[in-house]
Amino acid sequence: MSHEIRAPLNSIMGFSQLLLENTTGPLTEKQRDFIARIERSGSHLRDMINDVLDISKIESKKMTLSLREVNLVKVIDSVFDFFYEEASLKKILFAVTDKPKEPLLVTCDELKIRQVLYNLLSNAIKFTPSGGHIAMSLKKGPEGAIICIDDSGPGISPEFQKVIFTPYEQTGRTTNTESKGTGLGLAISKQFVTMHGGKIYVKSEPGQGSQFYVEIPFRAKPLSGNKPAASGNFPEQFGSINP
Protein backbone atom coordinates (compact mmCIF):
# COMPACT_ATOMS: atom_id res chain seq x y z
CA MET A 1 0.00 0.00 0.00
CA SER A 2 2.80 2.46 0.86
CA HIS A 3 4.32 2.02 -2.62
CA GLU A 4 0.98 2.67 -4.32
CA ILE A 5 0.60 5.88 -2.30
CA ARG A 6 4.16 7.17 -2.65
CA ALA A 7 4.89 6.32 -6.31
CA PRO A 8 2.48 8.82 -7.96
CA LEU A 9 3.49 11.54 -5.51
CA ASN A 10 7.20 10.95 -6.12
CA SER A 11 6.53 11.20 -9.85
CA ILE A 12 4.76 14.56 -9.43
CA MET A 13 7.57 15.93 -7.27
CA GLY A 14 10.29 14.56 -9.53
CA PHE A 15 8.88 16.11 -12.70
CA SER A 16 8.25 19.39 -10.85
CA GLN A 17 11.90 19.52 -9.83
CA LEU A 18 13.00 18.79 -13.41
CA LEU A 19 10.87 21.67 -14.68
CA LEU A 20 12.33 24.01 -12.05
CA GLU A 21 15.82 23.05 -13.25
CA ASN A 22 14.89 24.28 -16.77
CA THR A 23 15.50 20.84 -18.29
CA THR A 24 12.72 21.47 -20.83
CA GLY A 25 13.58 25.10 -21.47
CA PRO A 26 13.30 28.43 -19.64
CA LEU A 27 10.22 29.21 -17.55
CA THR A 28 8.42 32.48 -17.02
CA GLU A 29 8.33 33.81 -13.46
CA LYS A 30 4.65 32.90 -13.15
CA GLN A 31 5.28 29.35 -14.41
CA ARG A 32 8.19 28.94 -11.99
CA ASP A 33 6.03 30.16 -9.11
CA PHE A 34 3.20 27.75 -9.96
CA ILE A 35 5.56 24.76 -10.27
CA ALA A 36 7.33 25.69 -7.03
CA ARG A 37 3.95 25.66 -5.28
CA ILE A 38 3.24 22.20 -6.69
CA GLU A 39 6.62 20.98 -5.44
CA ARG A 40 6.11 22.47 -1.95
CA SER A 41 2.60 21.06 -1.66
CA GLY A 42 3.83 17.66 -2.81
CA SER A 43 6.59 17.72 -0.22
CA HIS A 44 4.11 18.63 2.50
CA LEU A 45 1.73 15.86 1.41
CA ARG A 46 4.61 13.35 1.36
CA ASP A 47 5.53 14.25 4.93
CA MET A 48 1.93 13.81 6.09
CA ILE A 49 1.68 10.43 4.33
CA ASN A 50 4.91 9.31 5.98
CA ASP A 51 3.55 10.33 9.39
CA VAL A 52 0.32 8.39 8.86
CA LEU A 53 2.23 5.30 7.69
CA ASP A 54 4.56 5.50 10.70
CA ILE A 55 1.62 5.77 13.09
CA SER A 56 0.02 2.76 11.40
CA LYS A 57 3.19 0.71 11.93
CA ILE A 58 3.43 1.80 15.56
CA GLU A 59 -0.20 0.93 16.28
CA SER A 60 0.20 -2.50 14.67
CA LYS A 61 3.50 -3.06 16.55
CA LYS A 62 5.37 -3.56 13.27
CA MET A 63 7.84 -0.73 13.81
CA THR A 64 11.36 -2.04 14.43
CA LEU A 65 14.75 -0.66 15.44
CA SER A 66 17.85 -1.18 13.30
CA LEU A 67 20.63 -0.66 15.81
CA ARG A 68 24.23 0.29 15.11
CA GLU A 69 26.91 2.42 16.72
CA VAL A 70 26.39 6.07 15.79
CA ASN A 71 28.47 9.18 16.44
CA LEU A 72 25.86 11.74 17.48
CA VAL A 73 28.30 14.62 16.97
CA LYS A 74 28.25 13.88 13.23
CA VAL A 75 24.47 13.51 13.29
CA ILE A 76 24.07 16.92 14.95
CA ASP A 77 26.42 18.54 12.41
CA SER A 78 24.55 16.94 9.51
CA VAL A 79 21.12 17.98 10.81
CA PHE A 80 22.41 21.52 11.39
CA ASP A 81 23.65 21.75 7.79
CA PHE A 82 20.30 20.46 6.53
CA PHE A 83 18.25 23.16 8.29
CA TYR A 84 20.70 26.07 8.19
CA GLU A 85 19.53 27.50 4.86
CA GLU A 86 15.84 27.21 5.78
CA ALA A 87 16.45 29.07 9.03
CA SER A 88 18.56 31.72 7.28
CA LEU A 89 15.86 32.37 4.68
CA LYS A 90 13.50 33.18 7.54
CA LYS A 91 16.20 35.38 9.12
CA ILE A 92 16.46 33.10 12.16
CA LEU A 93 19.81 32.84 13.92
CA PHE A 94 20.46 29.09 14.08
CA ALA A 95 23.52 27.69 15.83
CA VAL A 96 24.95 24.64 17.56
CA THR A 97 25.88 26.17 20.90
CA ASP A 98 27.46 23.16 22.61
CA LYS A 99 28.74 19.74 21.56
CA PRO A 100 31.54 17.38 22.63
CA LYS A 101 34.92 17.76 20.96
CA GLU A 102 35.28 13.97 20.89
CA PRO A 103 32.86 11.50 19.25
CA LEU A 104 29.78 10.72 21.34
CA LEU A 105 28.90 7.12 20.48
CA VAL A 106 25.51 5.55 21.13
CA THR A 107 23.92 2.36 19.81
CA CYS A 108 20.66 3.45 18.23
CA ASP A 109 18.54 3.54 15.09
CA GLU A 110 20.13 6.54 13.37
CA LEU A 111 17.28 7.15 10.92
CA LYS A 112 14.71 7.31 13.70
CA ILE A 113 16.83 9.65 15.82
CA ARG A 114 17.31 11.87 12.77
CA GLN A 115 13.55 11.92 12.20
CA VAL A 116 13.02 13.02 15.80
CA LEU A 117 15.45 15.92 15.30
CA TYR A 118 13.89 16.81 11.94
CA ASN A 119 10.45 16.97 13.56
CA LEU A 120 11.66 19.15 16.42
CA LEU A 121 13.64 21.54 14.21
CA SER A 122 10.85 21.81 11.63
CA ASN A 123 8.52 22.91 14.42
CA ALA A 124 11.11 25.28 15.86
CA ILE A 125 11.59 27.01 12.50
CA LYS A 126 7.84 27.10 11.87
CA PHE A 127 7.02 28.79 15.17
CA THR A 128 10.08 31.02 15.62
CA PRO A 129 9.48 34.50 14.17
CA SER A 130 11.83 36.26 11.80
CA GLY A 131 14.69 37.74 13.79
CA GLY A 132 14.43 35.02 16.43
CA HIS A 133 16.93 32.33 17.32
CA ILE A 134 17.22 28.55 17.59
CA ALA A 135 20.01 26.82 19.49
CA MET A 136 20.84 23.12 19.33
CA SER A 137 23.16 21.44 21.82
CA LEU A 138 24.50 17.95 22.50
CA LYS A 139 25.90 16.86 25.86
CA LYS A 140 27.13 13.61 27.34
CA GLY A 141 25.15 12.62 30.43
CA PRO A 142 25.81 9.84 32.95
CA GLU A 143 23.57 7.35 31.10
CA GLY A 144 23.57 8.66 27.55
CA ALA A 145 23.32 11.66 25.26
CA ILE A 146 21.19 14.73 25.93
CA ILE A 147 20.06 16.86 22.99
CA CYS A 148 18.32 20.20 23.48
CA ILE A 149 16.59 22.36 20.88
CA ASP A 150 15.86 25.83 22.26
CA ASP A 151 13.75 28.32 20.29
CA SER A 152 12.52 31.86 20.85
CA GLY A 153 9.01 31.13 19.61
CA PRO A 154 5.75 32.00 21.38
CA GLY A 155 6.08 29.25 23.98
CA ILE A 156 3.56 26.60 24.99
CA SER A 157 0.95 26.87 27.72
CA PRO A 158 1.00 24.37 30.62
CA GLU A 159 -2.26 22.74 29.52
CA PHE A 160 -0.92 22.03 26.02
CA GLN A 161 2.35 20.71 27.42
CA LYS A 162 0.34 17.89 29.03
CA VAL A 163 -0.96 16.66 25.66
CA ILE A 164 1.70 17.86 23.23
CA PHE A 165 3.01 14.34 22.53
CA THR A 166 -0.49 12.90 22.03
CA PRO A 167 -1.42 11.90 18.44
CA TYR A 168 -3.32 14.53 16.42
CA GLU A 169 -2.82 17.23 19.05
CA GLN A 170 -1.45 20.57 17.85
CA THR A 171 1.05 22.49 19.97
CA GLY A 172 -1.13 25.39 21.03
CA ARG A 173 1.31 27.76 19.34
CA THR A 174 0.13 30.04 16.55
CA THR A 175 1.68 30.50 13.13
CA ASN A 176 0.90 32.20 9.86
CA THR A 177 2.23 29.19 7.95
CA GLU A 178 -0.21 28.14 5.24
CA SER A 179 0.33 24.39 5.62
CA LYS A 180 -0.47 22.75 8.92
CA GLY A 181 0.76 19.32 9.89
CA THR A 182 -1.09 16.20 10.92
CA GLY A 183 -0.42 16.64 14.63
CA LEU A 184 1.57 13.38 14.48
CA GLY A 185 5.19 14.56 14.37
CA LEU A 186 5.70 14.93 18.12
CA ALA A 187 3.70 11.78 18.87
CA ILE A 188 5.92 9.79 16.50
CA SER A 189 9.02 11.40 18.01
CA LYS A 190 7.84 10.38 21.49
CA GLN A 191 7.38 6.77 20.41
CA PHE A 192 10.72 6.59 18.57
CA VAL A 193 12.58 7.87 21.63
CA THR A 194 10.61 5.56 23.93
CA MET A 195 11.51 2.60 21.72
CA HIS A 196 15.15 3.31 22.60
CA GLY A 197 14.35 3.48 26.31
CA GLY A 198 14.95 7.23 26.24
CA LYS A 199 12.98 10.33 27.17
CA ILE A 200 11.63 13.37 25.34
CA TYR A 201 10.07 16.32 27.14
CA VAL A 202 9.49 20.05 26.86
CA LYS A 203 10.09 23.05 29.12
CA SER A 204 8.25 26.18 28.09
CA GLU A 205 6.33 29.24 29.23
CA PRO A 206 4.05 31.39 27.08
CA GLY A 207 6.08 34.22 25.58
CA GLN A 208 9.38 32.67 26.70
CA GLY A 209 10.15 30.19 23.92
CA SER A 210 10.45 26.42 24.24
CA GLN A 211 13.18 23.90 25.03
CA PHE A 212 12.72 20.33 23.82
CA TYR A 213 15.01 17.72 25.36
CA VAL A 214 15.83 14.28 23.97
CA GLU A 215 17.69 11.79 26.16
CA ILE A 216 19.13 8.75 24.38
CA PRO A 217 20.83 5.94 26.35
CA PHE A 218 24.28 4.79 25.27
CA ARG A 219 22.60 1.58 24.12
CA ALA A 220 18.91 1.27 23.29
CA LYS A 221 16.96 -0.22 26.21
CA PRO A 222 13.41 -0.82 24.97
CA LEU A 223 10.82 -0.92 27.73
CA SER A 224 8.87 -4.12 28.23
CA GLY A 225 5.18 -4.67 28.78
CA ASN A 226 2.08 -3.23 27.19
CA LYS A 227 1.37 -0.39 29.61
CA PRO A 228 0.06 2.67 27.71
CA ALA A 229 2.61 5.39 27.12
CA ALA A 230 2.36 8.42 29.38
CA SER A 231 1.55 10.77 26.50
CA GLY A 232 -0.27 9.09 23.66
CA ASN A 233 -2.36 6.05 22.84
CA PHE A 234 0.43 3.63 21.94
CA PRO A 235 2.08 0.88 23.97
CA GLU A 236 5.61 1.60 25.13
CA GLN A 237 7.02 -1.56 23.54
CA PHE A 238 6.77 -1.80 19.76
CA GLY A 239 7.82 -4.40 17.26
CA SER A 240 11.29 -5.86 17.48
CA ILE A 241 14.95 -4.92 17.40
CA ASN A 242 17.27 -5.70 14.51
CA PRO A 243 20.82 -5.49 15.90
pLDDT beyond 90 at 61: no
Residue 2's pLDDT band (cuts 50, 70, 90): low
- The confidence score (pLDDT) of residue 154 equals 94
Q: What is the mean pLDDT of the chain?
A: 82
- The confidence score (pLDDT) of residue 152 equals 96
Answer left, alpha or beta for residue 239, where phi above 0 means left and psi between -120 and 50 means alpha.
left
**Which tens digits make up the pLDDT trace of 105-159?**
999 999 899 999 999 999 999 999 999 999 999 999 999 999 999 999 999 999 9
Lowest mean pLDDT of 49-58, 104-113, 127-136, 201-210, name the range. 49-58
C-alpha to C-alpha distance for 175 and 188, rounded to whole angstroms? 21
Which has more confidence, 2 or 61?
Answer: 61
Q: Is the overall model pTM greater than 0.95, yes or no?
A: no
pLDDT beyond 90 at 102: yes
Domains of the chain, by residue range, sit at 2-59, 65-242
Residue 30 exposed, middle or buried by CB count within 10 Å (0-12, 13-18, 19+): exposed
The single-letter DSSP state of residue 227 is P
The CATH homologous superfamily for domain 65-242 is Histidine kinase-like ATPase, C-terminal domain (3.30.565.10)
**Which tens digits make up the pLDDT trace of 157-182?**
999 998 898 876 665 555 444 445 55
Q: List strand residue ranges (DSSP E) for the chain, in order.
A: 65-66, 68-71, 93-98, 105-108, 133-140, 144-151, 199-204, 210-217, 241-242
- The confidence score (pLDDT) of residue 69 equals 97
pLDDT beyond 60 at 232: no
C-alpha to C-alpha distance for 220 and 198, rounded to whole angstroms? 8
Q: Quick one: what percent of the chain has pLDDT higher than 90?
A: 49
